[in-house]
Amino acid sequence: MTVRIEFDRKALFDDLRPMFGGFVQEQVDGIDGMLDYYEQLINELPGTVDARHMAYHMATTYHETGRRMVPVRETHASSDEQAIRRLENAWQAGKLPWVRTPYWRPNASGQAYFGRGRVQLTHEVNYSKQGTKHGLPLVERPELMLESATDMLVGWHGMLDGDFRPPHSLVRYFNDRVDDPVNAREIINADKKRVPKGQTRTLGEIIAGYHRNFLGAIEGSLRQVDGVEPPPRPPSIEEALAQATTNQLIAELLKRDKIVGELAIRRTLN
């Protein structure tokens, strides 16, 4: 009998409902996709997945996607052209003072590397790095980051390994000695001290609050579930040949025993 770790989805969504103010189907699908990926990791690599890491990944997603919880284009545009236009207009109007180089402008091949995904993979160098790491053509097809499976692979492992802003990683800010969701914002951006318009807390503190909510929901919904006996493993070629040889040997022995038995009966009758 196998044992699996799964999320009690109803309990988790109930815990998160006040944070979201209710859910639309897009949010449900986005969260379910994240939980599916986490469950796979938890069960394939037992004891290696920290609930705080999952919670901060979800908190970052909540912030970067505007609570949508699915892969999005930067500025929440419905097309690449719209994203480029919005970013260009904002930059020309002086609304992006932290941007030195307009990274959203298409290169010679016509590809643009603005933010995409749940955690907003940005800049051609990062698309190239992640493409090489995972064997994906992200430079040639950056739109792959809008696919949930690709986004989870790149976003989760990028944050875990500190790929986006080395050496800042989930392991650096959440481990046996450290629990620091405020400074963990460094994993994605160096804007943890910025106070958003209309807010009194810094961005690092705001996202840390999201992290606290997600962590409570995750820890309160993890369940150990009795599974079923896994199907028998098909024999290898070597095992199949050995079994065939054994079966043949058994058949020969039975045939011999039958002949010997018949001879014994004839001797008795005679």
Mean per-residue pLDDT, 259-263: 49
pLDDT band at 178 (very low <50, low <70, confident <90, very high): very high
Radius of gyration of the chain measured on its C-alpha atoms: 28
What is the second-level CATH architecture of the domain 3-226?
Answer: Orthogonal Bundle (1.10)
The pLDDT tens digits of the residues spanning 87-114 come to 999 999 999 998 999 999 999 999 999 9
Say if residue 72's pLDDT is above 80: yes
pTM assigned to the model: 0.82
- Measure the CA–CA gap between 142 and 209, rounded to whole angstroms: 31
The pLDDT tens digits of the residues spanning 185-224 come to 999 999 999 999 999 999 999 999 999 999 999 999 999 9
Task: Annotate 166-199 with b (16+ C-beta within 10 A) or e (fewer).
Answer: eebbbebbbeeeeebbbebbbbbbeebeeeeeee
Domain range annotation of the chain: 3-226, 239-270
Nearest alpha carbon to residue 141 among 82, 80, 188, 99: 80
- Measure the CA–CA gap between 102 and 235, rounded to whole angstroms: 58
Q: Which long-range contacts (CB under 8 A, 24 or more apart) does 91-100 make?
A: 98/191
